[in-house]
Structure 1
């Protein structure tokens, strides 16, 4: 099978997965009981209140796109990638993935344009201020950005 045929088959399979499986299994929104269970776990185990999950980004290596836009995929580490952000709950179940962005994009950009950021910002603006995601050093930047954008 040629590379272009394989790429088309993979693309079609991924579209089917996204349409039929991802909405059921990868779901950032939890009902109140599920959210409280996650918050309770993090509080009992680590003493941190309000945590609904953990967020991090990673660079997934890809071949050079070979197009005029290949520079968009060249990350700061010197290889071509997608900058993928994922959120998981206390059981390491992935609840959110954003794999839309070329590797040259900064983690903060990926966060700022994500549906997760929009949902959490909306919740915060509607008075739900006791909900947090744990992350690496980006967490302080995110917290500051959320505070500034909600003003």
Structure 2
């Protein structure tokens, strides 16, 4: 995640240039990665709302789909908002806000709580300006949706069709490795 002022300004400028949204440090979302059936004692932690076993992986990316943070700890039954509340990134954003005031924002969908450092869409749109904000927010946040698709295309083991037929903890390690390899591929301009 961009921690220096210079890194933050680069990410913010790219988001602003592409979307018109000022001060954006990244877009956040969770995605499910299918895993094999875990031990009976913990399988309830991994069954997601679509009925298959998965890890629920929190990703944050910049506008150019560089992964800024990956949190692959929780099972598929865990809600996105709980993963956010438990993440080190949330603690970092809170500490930055407390120490320095607003240094920037993340863009999250309505599954996340509105916070001084996390912008979410209006739930009940009551005006044209709120609808305009929601439309702009969705366009800017779309980069993390694209990232999910790119990762699952690039690494077939992350797709729902195949999944990771390994233990939940090893699945988390593989997911983190795939994210690292994605960033290396991006940095050195390797094709998909």
Q: Same fold, TM exceeding 0.5?
A: yes
Q: What's the counterpart of residue 35 of structure 2?
A: 62
Change (3 A) 1:84 1:119: same
2:58 pairs with 1:53? no
Moved over 6 A (4+): none
Distance (whole Å) between structure 2 residues aligned to residue 122 and residue 88 of structure 1: 20
Distance 1:145 1:103, change over 3 A: farther
CA distance in 2, matches of 1:68, 1:81: 15
CA distance in 1, matches of 2:72, 2:84: 11
Q: Identify if the C-alpha distance between structure 1 residues 58 and 95 changes in structure 2 by more than 3 Å, giving closer, same or farther.
A: same
Matches within 5 A, 1:66-81: 66-81=39-54
CA displacement at 1:120 relative to structure 2 = 0.3
- Pick closer, same or farther for the CA change 1:144–1:52 going to 2, 3 Å: closer
Task: Give the distance between the partners of 1:145 and 1:45, measured in 2 at CA.
Answer: 20
TM-score (norm 2): 0.57
Question: Structure 1 regions of 5+ residues with no counterpart?
Answer: 1-27, 147-151
In 2, are the aligned partners of 1:61 and 1:80 still within 8 Å (CA)?
yes
- Retained in 1: the 8 A contact 2:26–2:105? yes
Identify the structure with bigger relative contact order (alpha carbons < 8 Å, sequence gap 6+): 2
From 92, 115, 125, give the equivalent of 1:143: 115
TM-score (norm 1): 0.71
Q: Report the aligned-residue RMSD.
A: 1.9
Aligned-residue offset at 1:130: 3.8
